[in-house]
Structure 1
Amino acid sequence: MIWTKKLRNNALLLFSAVLLALTGWSADIPRAGAAQAPVCGTGDHGLLQELQQKHAKADESPLAFSDIQFLGAKTGRGAGNGFMIGTSDGGCTFQTIYEGQWSFRKIDFPDNVYGWALASVQDGQSGYLIRTTDGGSHWKRLSNGPVTFTKIDFLDRQHGFAYDRAFAYYTADGGGSWSKIPTPANTRGAVFTSRSSGWVVTVAPGEGYRIRRTSDGGKSWSLQLKSAFSYPEFGDIYAKGSQVWAVLYGGTGMSQTSYSLYASPDGGGSWRRVIAQSTAGGGPAPGSGGNPLPKGPVSGKPGNMQLAGGGAFLLGYSPAGEQVGVGRSYTGGRQWTNLPGIPGFDGVISFAGAKEGWLAVRGPEQSSLYATQDGGVTWKQKFSFHAK
């Protein structure tokens, strides 16, 4: 009986080790009498110190996060100039997943094994589409030459979308080949939630912004919203379930950006102007209507947005004010709250649920990862790279 139990325990340990290896993670398998794991820490966790020293000796930019993605409250990745790290215990410990030539700009993992990224070789200007099949430890370039993509979004291991400023693209073979999706003229932002269903922001000089929707894969588009503005720039649009959100940009000047945030809680049936931030440097906020808030999070520029757990979260960053923070709504835009900021120049957010989220911040002295368990009201530092 004791011998059978030992065999079963050994088999479980072997299975765990193989599973971790296949998914690109590394961990120590506990042995009898082994010391307890240390409590959650902060700082750099002792990772990538040689790479940090190499950058310092070569007078290169210090290590900094450019993108993060979390699949849940505990499991996620952060990547930047020549590295990728990950955690599977909510930031108590981190592991080095990748160290090499690729400087990551955007990462996207539909699961914990398969992932894609837009990356350059070291500090080069050209961007390439690359893919991993082992959690991020090894990467293969998919494109023969540079790509124009600025965003990627994979639904699973085969199907995904890519976007540049004017067009949308679709792949059904894991990024090996792409087909252009028909979009209206003057498209300046797009998102697709399936091959048939998508949204775009278009610009009409002298008239303003238009938000349009397709339910037949781009064959036809219906007008959902008009937003008057003399000099429309571009927009970002986000959709999940019945929620649709659009960030429409005005001008930029003196480190300030004017913008409006629109929300639809019912799939485009009705719209609400949630934020209309006008600035001295950027001019008036685009659009009209409603009784919007005059300022967004930290009264700064809009960053990326996340729709998760029924909530909507928008990053705001103020380089001049040296603040980064989020605003949020749990009511489809009917109520909006700008939350307190933390020190930093810019950042990116990744929310896994209504309360659990992560924030990568570039500050004056370090690039850090923070976690929140209360929807962005408070943030706890989990990891940091110190500037040289």
Structure 2
Amino acid sequence: MKWTKRIHKTTITALSATLIMVSGWSAPVTSVHAAPAPATCGTGDHGLLQALQNKHSGDVSTPLSFSDVQFLNGNTGRAAGNGFMIGTSDGGCHFQEIYQGQWSFKQFDFPDNVHGFALASVEEGQAQYLIGTSNGGSEWKRLSNNAVSFERMNFFDSKKGFAYERAATFYTKDGGLSWSKISTPPNTRGAYFSDRNTGWAVVIVPGSGYRVMKTTDGGGTWSLSLKAAFAEPEFGQISAKGDQVAVVLYGGTGMSQTSYSLYESANRGKSWNRVIAQETAGGGPAPGSGKAEFNKGPAAGKPGNLQLVGNSTSFLVGFSPAAEKVAVGRSYNGGKQWTNLPELAGYDGVISFTSNKEGWLAIRELDYSSLYVTKDGGASWERRFSLKVMTQ
């Protein structure tokens, strides 16, 4: 299907319905003629969001840019930022406006192509709310009148999901209308639950280092899985999928540099491999000890979001603001081997992979905020959509 460059508000709902149908709908066969050849994928901004882009012209503090991207499969996905959301149903060959309005998106999550949840604020720096949609993203409403302190959230379906503060974890079974706090160990500074029973927590022990703890009874009891020595532990991010677990432990930050270590386990935390130990002049030593596969992460910069795909594949985005570089690193065997992939221009990035080959990367550059696609696991990237950052 070829989408027009812009749509009016009256057709936004129709777009959402189109997106909703893509993943599972097929038209009845009415002709024996061969289907037309697929349209060539475009690049550039496609003429979308021009009015909103002009509104941000000259606003150096909040130029129009992407803050998050999520694809459900190789064809269907969304990207959003300050006051907008766009989507595609043909792998980025064409994009269309889904939403334009008051909400500035920090993070969003669609467990299916109809229901979505987001952490968003009305203005940058203002109170953040959990909002929801039931029509693909064209309309959003607050799920509570109270602001939330969640840093991120993850929904498994339209009802059940988890939300995380740095020191606390919450669970909902009614689509975010109410939340119950899950018991995590004292001094937790990062957690992840792969289901209601199985969870992981990054715990700091002041003056000693990090502990990675595991629960199999929904937070009732916790057991030690990993120790990593570090003088001044701060926080970590962790993810789990099947037998695979990966954790990024943060060291110090200085001179636009962050030291960190990436550990991975292929057997649910029974044993760990230190994959990356990045030491920097500004951030100091990396947490942990022992040999690491690599002493530099992707772009030799700060770690971004971590994602596990399939049974043994992991991706980590890294960015170096001072060097203006963004790159992705990956492992195809549970962290036993690691590859830092080619760099792109930029100073920040977010990834969304749907398989060990197909993925998307949203980058903030000095002059553009862009979406890139890869079909070879990050070895090469093609720009599919750009917003000109107007600062003059």
Q: Give the aligned partner of residue 329 of structure 2.
A: 327
1:269 equivalent to 2:270? Answer yes
CA distance in 1, matches of 2:218, 2:347: 39
Is the Cα contact below 8 Å between 1:116 and 1:130 reproduced in 2? yes
CA distance in 2, matches of 1:113, 1:26: 9
Q: Offset of 1:21 from its aligned partner?
A: 5.2
Q: Offset of 1:158 from its aligned partner?
A: 0.5
CA distance in 2, matches of 1:161, 1:146: 17
CA distance in 2, matches of 1:334, 1:377: 19
Structure 1 spans left out of the alignment, 5+ residues? 1-17
Q: Offset of 1:105 from its aligned partner?
A: 0.1
CA displacement 1:259-291 (0-9 Å, x = unmatched): 000000110011011000000000000111233
CA displacement 1:21-61 (0-9 Å, x = unmatched): 5366699x9xx9xx998521111111111111122277763
Return the match for 1:348 from 342, 347, 350: 350
Amino acid paired to 1:55 = H
| 1:60-71 matched pairs, under 5 angstroms | 61-71=62-72
CA distance in 2, matches of 1:200, 1:105: 23
Q: Offset of 1:146 from its aligned partner?
A: 1.1
1:375 equivalent to 2:385? Answer no
CA displacement 1:288-334 (0-9 Å, x = unmatched): 12333110011000000111133100001000111100000001111
- Percent of pairs with identical residues: 62
CA distance in 2, matches of 1:59, 1:340: 29
| SS of residue paired to 2:52 | helix
Aligned-pair RMSD on alpha carbons?
2.0
Is the Cα contact below 8 Å between 2:362 and 2:369 reproduced in 1? yes
Q: Offset of 1:124 from its aligned partner?
A: 4.0
CA distance in 2, matches of 1:25, 1:62: 30
1:110 equivalent to 2:105? Answer no
Q: Give the aligned partner of residue 77 of structure 1.
A: 78
| 1:231-270 matched pairs, under 5 angstroms | 231-270=232-271
Is the Cα contact below 8 Å between 2:111 and 2:158 reproduced in 1? yes
CA distance in 2, matches of 1:109, 1:208: 35
Return the match for 2:363 from 361, 364, 386: 361
1:298 equivalent to 2:299? Answer yes
| 1:134-145 matched pairs, under 5 angstroms | 134-145=135-146
| 1:1-388 matched pairs, under 5 angstroms | 22=17, 39-56=40-57, 61-309=62-310, 310-388=312-390
Q: Offset of 1:122 from its aligned partner?
A: 2.6
Is the Cα contact below 8 Å between 1:235 and 1:249 reproduced in 2? yes
Is the Cα contact below 8 Å between 1:84 and 1:97 reproduced in 2? yes
Residues 23/182 of structure 1: CA separation in 2 closer, same or farther (3 Å cut): farther
Is the Cα contact below 8 Å between 2:19 and 2:76 reproduced in 1? no
CA distance in 1, matches of 2:143, 2:20: 23
| SS of residue paired to 1:200 | strand
Q: TM-score scaled by structure 2? A: 0.90
Is the Cα contact below 8 Å between 2:16 and 2:137 reproduced in 1? no
CA distance in 2, matches of 1:375, 1:74: 16
Residues 57/254 of structure 1: CA separation in 2 closer, same or farther (3 Å cut): closer
Amino acid paired to 2:314 = A
Worse-superposed segment, 311-320 or 283-292: 283-292
CA distance in 2, matches of 1:162, 1:62: 28
CA distance in 1, matches of 2:369, 2:318: 17
CA displacement 1:47-81 (0-9 Å, x = unmatched): 11111112227776321000010001111000000
Amino acid paired to 1:329 = S
Q: Offset of 1:20 from its aligned partner?
A: 5.8
| SS of residue paired to 1:288 | coil
Amino acid paired to 1:22 = A
Asked which structure has the greater RCO (Cα within 8 Å, sep 6+), the reply is 2
CA distance in 1, matches of 2:54, 2:261: 43
Worse-superposed segment, 138-147 or 79-88: 138-147
CA distance in 1, matches of 2:106, 2:226: 32
Q: TM-score scaled by structure 1? A: 0.91
| SS of residue paired to 2:249 | strand
